[in-house]
Amino acid sequence: MEELRNKKAFICDMDGVIYHGNRLLPGAKLFVDWLTAEGKPYLFLTNASERSPRELHEKLARLGVDVPTENFYTSALATAAFLASQCPGGSAYVIGEAGLINALYDVGFTMNDVNPDYVIVGESRNYNLDTLEHAVNLVLKGAKLIGTNPDLTGPVEKGITPATGALISPIELATGSKAYFVGKPNPLMMRHARRRLDTRREETVIVGDRMDTDVLSGIEAGLETVLVLSGVSTRETMNKFAYRPNYVLDGVGDIVGTSAK
C-alpha cells in the first residue's frame, strides 16, 4: 500500500468511486484532501457524459469536496475532440444531455435531425421510442453511429441504471451497424488523461469501480490499477475476467488509511 501512496499521479473514476447519485461515498473527501495536501496531480476521468466539468465541480462542491474544474475530463469532451478531428464542422443528431451537446457546440458541431454526419448517444433522460426510432432511420440513411462510452450500467443510489452501452444497443440491432465508443477503455481517453497530467506511465495509477472499463483501460495503457468495490464490480464478478487489478480495495479511503483487503 505504501508503494501505491507513493505514486506521483492519480487518474480516478467518479460514479461508484467518489459518489453514488447525490451521495458522497465513504472516504472520498479524505482521498481528495490527501491528493491536494500531497500536491499530487490528479484527474477525474469519467465515462459519464451528462455533465460538463463546471457542473461536476459544482456537484462535488455541494457534497463538500472542492475539485477545480480543470481536474475533470469526460467522455463527452473526448467524443467532441475525436469528432472535431474526424469531421471538422460536422453535424449530429444527439441523444444525450447538456454536457454532451455543449461539448459538441464548443468544437464547432451543429445539431441536425434531418441528415446529420453522426448519430451520437450518451446517457439521457430523454431517451424514448420516438428518439430511438428517429436515430435508427438516420443511421439507415447513412449517419455514422457513435457512443460516448460502452458502459452497460452505472451505479445510482437505488442500485443500477442502464447506461450508454445499453441505450445504444437497440440502434445497433435494428440497423446492423456497430457503434464506435470513445470513452474508456478506448485508449483515446487515456491519452488525453496522460497529456493533461504530464506524467510517465510508471508514475501514474488509475482508480475505478469497473473491471471492463477502468481496470482494462489501465492495463492496456501500462498503468497500475486499483479496483474499488464501492460501485459496479464485486469480488465475484472480478473473477470472471482474464485480467486482474494490482490492488482491490473497499473504497478510495483505503488508499489513504488502511491496507488492501
Q: What is the mean pLDDT of the chain?
A: 93
- Which among 154, 181, 208 is the end of a domain? 181
**What is d(CA 140, CA 118) in angstroms, rounded to the nearest whole number?**
11
What are 19's three cell numbers? 459518489
Residue 134 located in a structural domain: yes
Q: 203 and 148 in one domain?
A: no
Predicted local distance difference test score (pLDDT) of residue 260: 36
Question: Are 216 and 195 within 8 A, CB to CB?
Answer: no
Q: 102 and 122 in one domain?
A: yes
**What is d(CA 48, CA 77) in angstroms, rounded to the nearest whole number?**
10
Residue 15: active-site member? yes
Q: What is the CATH number of the domain that holds 215?
A: 3.40.50.1000
Write out the residue range of the structural domain in which residue 100 sits: 77-181
The position carrying cell 430523454 is: 126
What are 215's three cell numbers? 481496470
Predicted local distance difference test score (pLDDT) of residue 5: 87
Q: How confident is the model at residue 259 (pLDDT cuts 50, 70, 90)?
A: very low
Q: 177 and 84 in one domain?
A: yes
Q: Average pLDDT for residues 237-254, to the nearest whole number? A: 95
**What is d(CA 70, CA 58) in angstroms, rounded to the nearest whole number?**
12
- Which among 136, 158, 181 is the end of a domain? 181
Q: Average pLDDT for residues 10-16, to the nearest whole number? A: 94
pLDDT in tens, 172-222: 999 999 999 999 999 888 888 888 898 888 999 999 999 999 999 999 999
pLDDT at 155 over 90: no
Domain count, the chain: 2
**What is d(CA 179, CA 119) in angstroms, rounded to the nearest whole number?**
9
- DSSP-derived secondary structure for 11-53: EE--BTTTEETTEEPTTHHHHHHHHHHHT--EEEEE---SS-H
pLDDT in tens, 67-111: 999 999 999 999 999 999 999 999 999 999 999 999 999 999 999
pLDDT in tens, 14-33: 999 999 888 999 999 999 99
Q: 189 and 172 in one domain?
A: no
The position carrying cell 461515498 is: 25
Kindly name the residue from 15, 117, 151, 214 that is annotated as catalytic.
15
Q: 112 and 34 in one domain?
A: no
Residue 144 located in a structural domain: yes
The position carrying cell 484532501 is: 33
Question: Are 207 and 13 within 8 A, CB to CB?
Answer: yes
- Which among 181, 202, 223 is the end of a domain? 181
Q: Average pLDDT for residues 39-45, to the nearest whole number? A: 95
Predicted local distance difference test score (pLDDT) of residue 46: 93
Kindly name the residue from 13, 117, 151, 212 that is annotated as catalytic.
13
Q: 211 and 149 in one domain?
A: no
Residue 89 located in a structural domain: yes
Q: 43 and 105 in one domain?
A: no
Predicted local distance difference test score (pLDDT) of residue 102: 96
What number of H helices and E strands is found in the chain?
Answer: 11, 15
Type of residue found at 254: D
10, β-bridge pairs: 42, 205
Neighbours of 132 (CB within 10 A): 17
Predicted local distance difference test score (pLDDT) of residue 2: 83
Sign of CA dihedral 70, 76, 78, 80: negative
Q: Which residues contact 79 (CB under 8 A, 6 or more apart)?
A: 49, 100, 103, 104, 120, 122, 146, 148, 182, 183
